[in-house]
Amino acid sequence: MAFRLLSTARRAGSDAGVATGGVPSPRSWCGAPRGSSWVTATRRENPEPSQYDIAITRQLADGAKLLGIRLLDHIIVGDGCYFSLQERRMLP
């Protein structure tokens, strides 16, 4: 899972990091200066979100909210297409 923090003007900042085999830690979000929102992305063959994807996205959004950071989207990319949880109104 990769994630990128965005400035208050929603311009991409530096990559905050990439978590392999897990979820990015809240500590890694805090290291980015003045990030007020972020987008996370997952890549695999089937872009359809699993129940795990939906559950972990809700947990990430709730955790980010505690830090004053807004999760804008979780995008799953694969098989020549993508699935945006924001576009499907699946974000909390």
Model pTM above 0.85: no
Q: Residue 33 — pLDDT band, cuts 50, 70, 90?
A: very low
70-78 vs 81-84, strand pairing mode: antiparallel
How does pLDDT run across 4-24, given as a tens digit for each residue?
Answer: 555 555 555 555 444 455 555
